[in-house]
């Protein structure tokens, strides 16, 4: 068989040598073989196709109208696909690191953290930054879900070190680094790293699906500042601008809208967003986000999902317990906050609404439980937390 060098292939396909090497390393060029520190490529090998283009995902345009490519960066999050076709999409990907990351995303978002950990642990020191950072992010949250805090901290530190030591001047790559760092910080309710560039510089440089998720992170951050209307503005604008359905970021955006609307006591609108999130999530079993956000959804899962989908509800609550226990172990010591521990999910949901000023009757009506049951849960929560009134409940309720 006749071979060509990486340089020859780069010339022939009109791409950089680095990208050719990346294609070789991820197994996307049939017959390519490692040759010393480089690769030899069969002369007849075809240039790998852009996977996102094949999946009809829109391209991101650089400032000079240049098409940007982000192989390996949270490929599932960054892909528009029909709900229910997630595994089909992953199957269609060429074997390699990008596919491994996509599979890890699938495992994580469908509430299978152990498999997500298994899938990502060998990629944490991968030289390709997109792969490495994606793996770290998944590994971090998956380990929170199984209570492996040291491992979660390891991944968090790896992300922070990469950001701090980064000398990358390429703006698109800086944007990717910033996105991953924000995702690791904001969702744990930790302060944002100082090194991050301003949002307006970051967003236009991210591809569509990642940009949507970045906007979810921003909206979540704004929610934590209690600016619910602004958070909703970000969410509604993001959702209305998408030309194709990106299920993963859309689910998270809808869930953040539920948080905002519940804080504004606009239950009908919150319900609409919850159902929209559920419609996108159910076909692929993407239930992780529901479990992660339970505490902030103001009893909405109990009100809407529990009666219709009791088995799914049980699985979501199991995720909530596992995830929130891990989350608190990092959040509480790092921030000095004292988010409620030892409460059942129902106690937390009822107490959160009580702390927000809902009457017991309103909580009972919303959660479809009796007035006495509401009081039972809130008195239990107050005793466990040793607080004397609803005002004091607030500091334990992420409010």
Partner 1 sequence: MEKAKTYQVEGATLTIPLQYDQKTGKYMEVYPDFLEHPIYTPEGHPIMLTLEDACAFGEERSAGEGLIDCGSCRFYRPFSNTLLGVCGHERNRKA
CA distance 127 to 135: 12
CA 304 vs CA 288, 307, 323: distances in Å: 17, 6, 21
CA distance 347 to 263: 18
375 scored as a contact of partner 1 (CB under 8 A): yes
CA 84 vs CA 111, 284, 396: distances in Å: 16, 5, 38
Nearer to partner 1, 160 or 380 (CB): 380
CA distance 295 to 89: 32
In degrees, to the nearest 5, what angle opens at C-alpha 393 toward C-alphas 261 and 346?
Answer: 65
Question: Radius of gyration (Cα) for the chain, nearest Å?
Answer: 22
373 scored as a contact of partner 1 (CB under 8 A): no
Nearer to partner 1, 67 or 379 (CB): 379
Stretch that binds partner 1, among 11-19, 218-226, 302-310, 377-385 (CB under 8 A): 377-385
Strands 67-68, 38-42: parallel, antiparallel or unpaired by DSSP? Answer: unpaired
390 scored as a contact of partner 1 (CB under 8 A): yes
Nearer to partner 1, 190 or 384 (CB): 384
DSSP 200-224: HHHGGGS-HHHHHHHHHHHHHHHHH
Q: In sequence order, which ranges of 3-148 are alpha helices (DSSP H)?
A: 6-13, 17-25, 51-54, 86-92, 97-109, 113-120, 129-145
CA distance 392 to 387: 6
Stretch that binds partner 1, among 10-18, 44-52, 256-264, 359-367 (CB under 8 A): 359-367
- Total number of residues binding partner 1 (CB under 8 A)? 20
Smallest gap from residue 151 Cβ to partner 1 (A): 25
Q: How far apart are the first and last CA of the chain?
A: 66
56 scored as a contact of partner 1 (CB under 8 A): no
Nearer to partner 1, 67 or 372 (CB): 372
Nearer to partner 1, 221 or 299 (CB): 299
Indicate which single residue of 354, 367, 369, 397 sits in contact with partner 1 (rule: CB under 8 A).
354
342 scored as a contact of partner 1 (CB under 8 A): yes
399 scored as a contact of partner 1 (CB under 8 A): no
Nearer to partner 1, 236 or 365 (CB): 365
CA distance 334 to 262: 27
Nearer to partner 1, 64 or 388 (CB): 388
How many Cβ atoms sit within 10 Å of the Cβ of residue 372?
10
Smallest gap from residue 361 Cβ to partner 1 (A): 6
357 scored as a contact of partner 1 (CB under 8 A): yes
Nearer to partner 1, 155 or 343 (CB): 343
389 scored as a contact of partner 1 (CB under 8 A): yes
153 scored as a contact of partner 1 (CB under 8 A): no
Q: Give one word for 60, left, alpha or beta, with left for phi > 0 and alpha for psi -120 to 50.
A: beta
157 scored as a contact of partner 1 (CB under 8 A): no
Stretch that binds partner 1, among 211-219, 227-235, 264-272, 383-391 (CB under 8 A): 383-391
Stretch that binds partner 1, among 77-85, 110-118, 175-183, 371-379 (CB under 8 A): 371-379
How many Cβ atoms sit within 10 Å of the Cβ of residue 390?
17
Nearer to partner 1, 4 or 343 (CB): 343
Output the six-digit token pair for 332. 């509480």
Output the six-digit token pair for 111. 């509430």
383 scored as a contact of partner 1 (CB under 8 A): yes
CA distance 335 to 277: 30
| Site residues (vs partner 1, CB under 8 A) | 342, 344, 354, 357, 359-361, 372, 375-376, 378-380, 382-384, 388-391
């Amino acid at each position: 068989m006749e071979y060509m060098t990486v340089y020859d292939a780069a010339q022939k396909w009109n791409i950089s040598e680095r990208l050719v090497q990346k294609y070789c390393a991820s197994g996307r060029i049939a017959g390519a073989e490692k040759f010393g520190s480089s690769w030899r490529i069969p002369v007849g090998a075809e240039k790998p196709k852009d996977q996102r283009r094949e999946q009809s995902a829109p391209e991101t345009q650089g400032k000079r109208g240049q098409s940007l490519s982000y192989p390996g960066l949270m490929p599932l999050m960054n892909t528009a696909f029909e709900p229910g076709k997630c595994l089909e999409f992953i199957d269609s990907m060429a074997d390699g690191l990008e596919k491994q990351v996509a599979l890890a995303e699938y495992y994580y978002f469908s509430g299978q953290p152990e498999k997500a950990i298994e899938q990502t642990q060998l990629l944490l020191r991968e030289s390709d930054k997109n792969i490495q950072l994606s793996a770290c992010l998944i590994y971090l949250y998956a380990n929170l879900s199984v209570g492996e805090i040291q491992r979660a901290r390891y991944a968090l530190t790896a992300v922070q070190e990469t950001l701090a030591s980064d000398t990358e001047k390429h703006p698109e790559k800086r944007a990717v680094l910033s996105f991953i760092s924000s995702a690791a910080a904001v969702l744990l309710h930790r302060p944002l790293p100082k090194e991050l560039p301003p949002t307006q510089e970051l967003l236009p440089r991210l591809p569509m699906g990642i940009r949507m998720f970045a906007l979810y992170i921003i909206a979540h951050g704004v929610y934590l500042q209690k600016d619910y209307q602004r958070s909703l503005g970000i969410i509604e604008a993001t959702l209305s601008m998408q030309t194709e359905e990106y299920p993963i970021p859309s689910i998270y955006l809808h869930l953040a809208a539920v948080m905002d609307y519940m804080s504004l006591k606009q239950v009908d609108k919150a319900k609409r967003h919850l159902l929209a999130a559920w419609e996108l999530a159910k076909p692929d079993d993407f239930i992780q986000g529901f479990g992660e956000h339970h505490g902030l959804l103001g009893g909405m899962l109990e009100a809407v999902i529990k009666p219709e989908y009791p088995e799914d509800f049980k699985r979501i609550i199991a995720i909530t317990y596992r995830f929130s226990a891990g989350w608190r172990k990092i959040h509480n010591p790092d921030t000095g906050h004292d988010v409620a521990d030892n409460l059942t999910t129902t106690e937390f949901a009822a107490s959160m609404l009580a702390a927000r000023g809902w009457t017991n009757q309103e909580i009972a009506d919303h959660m479809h439980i009796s007035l006495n049951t509401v009081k039972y849960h809130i008195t239990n929560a107050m005793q466990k937390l040793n607080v004397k009134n609803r005002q004091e409940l607030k500091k334990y309720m992420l409010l």
